[in-house]
Amino acid sequence: MFGVSDSSRPYDVVLYGASGFTGRQTAAYFAAHAPAGTRWAIAGRDRGRLEVVRASLGAVGSSVGLFVADGGDQPALDRMVASTRVLLSTAGPFATYGNGVVDACVRLGTDYVDISGETAWVRDLIDRHHADAARRGTRIVPFCGFDSVPADLGTLLVARELQQRYGTPCTGARAYFRMAGGLNGGTIATAIQWQELGLTRRMADPFLLNPPGSWSPAVAERSGDVRGLQYDADMDAWVGPSLVALTDTRVVRRSAALFAEWGESYGAEFAFQEYAKFDRPFARAKAMAMSLALAAINGALARRWSRQLLHQLAPAPGSGPSERSMDHGWFRSEHVATGLGGAQVRGSIFHRGDPSNRATVRFVCESALCLALERDALPGAPGRGGVLTPATALGAVLVRRLQEAGVEISVGG
For the chain, domains (ranges, CATH) are: 11-146+358-405 (3.40.50.720), 149-356 (3.30.360)
Mean pLDDT across the stretch 112-119?
A: 96
Burial 113-132 (b: 16+ CB within 10 A, else e): bbbbbbbbbbbebbeebbee
What pTM was computed for the model? 0.91
Q: In Å, what is the CA distance from 280 to each residue of 18, 262, 274, 302, 355?
A: 40, 43, 20, 33, 22
- Cα–Cα dist 82/369, whole Å: 18
- Cα–Cα dist 334/348, whole Å: 4
147-173 residue pLDDT tens: 999 999 999 999 999 999 999 999 999
Under a CB-based contact definition with an 8 Å cutoff, are residues 357 and 321 in contact? yes
Inform me whether the pLDDT recorded for 261 exceeds 90: yes
Angle ∠(148,151,153) on CA atoms, nearest 5 = 95
Mean pLDDT across the stretch 86-112?
A: 96
Say whether 207 sits in a helix, a strand or coil. Answer: coil
| Sequence-separated (6 or more) residues with CB below 8 Å from residue 324 | none
Under a CB-based contact definition with an 8 Å cutoff, are residues 271 and 217 in contact? no
pLDDT of res. 333: 97
Inform me whether the pLDDT recorded for 244 exceeds 80: yes
- pLDDT bin (cut points 50, 70, 90) of residue 287 is confident
pLDDT of res. 189: 63
pLDDT of res. 165: 96
- pLDDT bin (cut points 50, 70, 90) of residue 1 is very low
pLDDT of res. 227: 86
